[in-house]
Amino acid sequence: MTAGLLRPASAAGTGRAARWWLAGFTILGLALPPLLPERHLATFVLFALTATVTVGVSLLMGYAGQVSLGQAAFYAIGAYAAGLLAVHGVPSLLGLLLAPVIAAVAAVLLGAPLLRLRGHHLAFATLAVQLILLSLLAQADWAGGAIGLQGIPRLTILGYELREDLGYAYAASLVLALAVLIARNVIVSRAGRALRAAATSETAAAASGVPIGRYRLAVFALSAAMAGLAGGVYAYYLGYLSPGSFPVLLSIEFVVMAVVGGLGTITGPVAGAAVVIVLVQVLNTLATRPGMPGYAPAVLSYAVYAVVLILCVLYLPKGLVPALRRATRATAPDRRQS
Amino acid sequence: MSDLVGYLLTGLGIGAGFALVGSGLVVIHRVTGVVNFAQGSFAVLAALLTSTLLGAGLPHGVAEAGGVALGAVAGLIVGVIAIGRPGTSPGTSLIVTLGLGVLAYAIEVLIWGDQPRSFPGLTGVAEIGGARIPAHYLLIIAVAAPVFLFLAWFFARTDLGRALSACSSNRYAARVVGIDVRRMGLLAFLIGGALGGLAGVLTTPVQQVTFDSDVVLIVNGFAAAVLGGLTRPVIALAGGLLLGVAQTLTAGYGGGAYQVEVALVLMLTVMIVQAARTGGIPEPAR
């Protein structure tokens, strides 16, 4: 079922161009936050955290050929792990480091039985896992129940407490940079090549001695760890968590961003998250103008996710980044001729 | 004892709703190979329109028919977008239907707002075997049963139904004998939309509906359908009934908070056992 859409762009821009992109993103990540006004700073934190999760989703869908409709579950596990640890007096930095570990362990335990499934079966299984988690969290009094977990302390690094949004913008940038770096190294590694082979033909890859099952589980755990890490920062940033913060729609949003940017590319998920979040923010600003009805922001954001996803899947099946790359490559020889 | 009868009948009523959603999934999947994620939206759209039509003073029956018709039209539209472009793979179509499900949210909130809605169904309480249950549950069973009989007859005995089945068993051979596979696919989406709409119209009086109820409906419908490997409507019916009864029994005998988990864990177990038995889903030919 995964033909076409889920096949990764070959070699996925691991060359010099990608390195320039990475350098550009790093500079942007460092220089942008202090220039942004307070209101947009919150959007930046949201963007960096969402993009971190999306990097994992893109890796999972592009390289392991698995559609996860429950990635927000691991985001929630990381957030709740960090939040609960901090509430019970564990140093917040340790809590942040443990969040991805706990999310990855959960992914291994869940993935061992679930990753036998493929295609739409796996998509529904991951969705079911998230629904079960949300239902359990809403009933768990030790985690705050349906009301939510309150009074999570702020993140403290080496005795310095992060109080301002600016600090969290840098923390989120750092987390995103880490996720991108890990994704890049995985893609160019032996395991990455093996997974790319498996995405083209599983039988051929298995016959060549690729331990597909183990690699699949490893990518699943890695993507969960990325979601968990982002969730940890989210918990300290907001200081409040509830099951309602992690709806099924959030999982779908991650898929939208990954598909829009280009599956299996390094810069794709970052670009996809940026495009979608900026679009939603712009429309949100329009929708909250005086005179607009109260339901306008919700309607517009649903419509944006839906329309962007459908148009992208049907007309740009490889995503924005590969499409742009192809466009620039197509114009390059012309310039040389003239 | 009377408790048990009550739980069983309520469960069958709820389960018939899941089975209708599930059978819609099955009809679409067997003909087109697409798992339609927007299946729950048909039910929600139909239920919301019915509540508006009833509010406008239309009699019962007419309003419900309007809802089902909207479900069918929505099904056709989803079909045109999801499989209309030649060369769209079923995996791509799944993502497209996911997007259409979210688009339905935008339309529903725009027209009906985000508050839960319901409308009165069959009033009164029936007494069977010493158990008192709301009569509407019996109505759901009474409507769903002939629909399933009709489906079974339609697919096995009519030319059109046989043409649809032919597309599911061998697309290429179906085209060779002159069946328009694409048109059959759209017809399947139309029927699937009507079945989804019927599920929404029937269950809303006992379970109120909001724009995002489709997630619960689609997951339970998928759970019902997956028992029959997504290809057999009759087993989807059995699966849906089993699911409904399992949920009401858990809710009835303590653990009312855990009925969602029961259905989902049941579904996961079935899928994992199926995958283990068949050695995973076979790799599609490219």
Set out the domains of chain B in order of their start, with CATH numbers: 2-278 (1.10.3470)
Q: What is the pLDDT of residues A119-152, one digit of tens each?
A: 788 888 999 999 999 989 988 888 888 888 888 8
Give the pLDDT confidence score for residue B286 in this predicted structure.
Answer: 35
Smallest Cβ–Cβ distance between B95 and the set A132, A135, A259 belongs to: A259
Residue B283 token pair? 């790799």
Q: Decide if A309 and B114 are in contact by the 8 Å CB cutoff.
A: no
CA atoms within 13 A on the CB side of B103: 19
- Report the interhelical angle of B135-157 vs B2-32 (nearest 10°): 30
Among B33, B91, B261, the residue with its CB nearest the CB of A132 is: B261
Asked if A98 contacts A82 with a C-beta cutoff of 8 angstroms, the reply is yes
Contact (CB, 8 A) for A56 and A70: no
Mean pLDDT of all residues belonging to chain A = 83
Residues whose CB is less than 8 angstroms from the CB of residue A156 and which lie 6 or more positions away in sequence, other chains included? A91, A92, A93, A162
Q: Which two tokens stand for residue B264?
A: 């989902």
So what's the pLDDT on residue A333?
53
* Of B216 and A231, more confident: A231
Q: Is the model's pLDDT at A114 over the cut of 60?
A: yes
The separation between CA B173 and the C-alpha centre of its own chain, rounded to angstroms, equals: 29
Structure tokens at A198: 């498996």
Give A2's pLDDT tier (boundaries 50, 70, 90): very low
Sequence-distant (6+) residues with CB within 8 A of B153 are B161
Q: What is the 3-state secondary structure (H, E, C) of A277-327?
A: HHHHHHHHHHHCCCCCCCCHHHHHHHHHHHHHHHHHHHHCCCCHHHHHHHH
Quick: pLDDT tens for A258-305.
Answer: 988 888 788 888 989 998 998 888 888 888 887 778 788 888 888 888
Q: What is the pLDDT of residue A12?
A: 45
The answer to whether the CB atoms of B271 and A125 lie below 8 A apart is yes
Q: What is the pTM of this model?
A: 0.86
Q: Identify the pLDDT of residue A17.
A: 64
- Greater confidence, A212 or A98? A98
Q: If pLDDT is split at 50, 70 and 90, which confidence band does A9 have?
A: very low
Return d(Cα B188, Cα A280) in angstroms, integer. 35
3-state secondary structure of B132: strand
Query: Residue A246's pLDDT is what?
Result: 92
Closest CB to A120 among B81, B94, B268: B94
- Structure tokens, A273: 């998250």
**Residue A203's closest chain B neighbor by CA?**
B283
Which one of A230-234, A330-334, B114-118, B157-161 scores highest in mean pLDDT?
Answer: A230-234
Q: Count other C-beta atoms under 10 Å from residue B268's C-beta.
A: 22
Distance of CA A126 to the CA centre of its chain: 15
What percent of chain A stands above pLDDT 70?
Answer: 91
* Interface-testing mutation among B271, B273, B274, B277, with chain A (most A C-beta atoms within 10 A): B271
Residues of A in contact with B260 (CB under 8 A): 131-132, 135
Say yes or no to pLDDT of A185 above 90: no
Chain-centroid distance, C-alpha A7: 19
Do the Cβ atoms of B209 and B118 come closer than 8 Å? Answer: yes
Residue of B50, B46, B62 whose CA lies nearest to B197: B46
Mutate to test the interface with B, among A314, A315, A316, A318 (most CBs of B within 10 A): A314
A55: nearest Cα among A74, A80, A31: A74
Separation in Å, CA B49 to CA A312, B52, B69, B91, B201: 30, 5, 10, 31, 9
Tell whether B261 is within 8 A of chain A (Cβ): yes
Calculate how close chain B gets to A82, using CA atoms only, in Å.
Answer: 25
What's the confidence (pLDDT) of residue B285? 38
Minimal CA separation from B283 to chain A, in Å: 8
- ipTM score: 0.84
User: Could you tell me how many residues make up chain A?
Assistant: 338
Please check whether residue A257 is in contact with residue A272, taking contact to mean a CB–CB distance below 8 angstroms: yes
Residue A4's pLDDT band (cuts 50, 70, 90): very low
Whether pLDDT at A7 is above 70? no
Indicate the DSSP class of residue B209.
Answer: B
pLDDT of residue A103: 96
The answer on pLDDT for A332 being more than 70 is no
More confident residue, A161 or A284: A284
Q: Which of A57, A120, A304 to mutate to test the interface with B (most CBs of B within 10 A)?
A: A120
How far is A17 from A180, CA to CA, in rounded Å?
15
Per the CB < 8 A criterion, the answer to whether B105 and B114 are in contact is: no
> If you average pLDDT over residues A306-321, what whole number do you get?
84
Contact check, Cβ <8 Å, B92/A117: no
- C-alpha–C-alpha distance, residues A232 and A228, integer Å: 6
Using CA atoms, how far apart are residues A107 and A112, in angstroms rounded to an integer?
Answer: 8
Alpha-carbon span B243 to A204, nearest angstrom = 39
Please report which confidence band the pLDDT of residue A236 belongs to, taking 50, 70 and 90 as the band edges. very high
Please count the residue pairs, one from chain A and one from chain B, whose beta carbons lie less than 8 angstroms apart: 143
* Average pLDDT estimate for A154-161: 77
pLDDT at A220 over 70: yes
Residues of chain B under the 70 pLDDT cut: 1, 255-257, 279-286
Rounded Cα distance, A5 and A318, in Å: 7
In this predicted structure, what is the pLDDT of residue A116?
84
pLDDT value at residue B255: 65
Q: What is the pLDDT of residue B210?
A: 86
CB A138 within 8 A of CB A146: yes
* Model confidence band, residue A6 (pLDDT cutoffs 50, 70, 90): very low
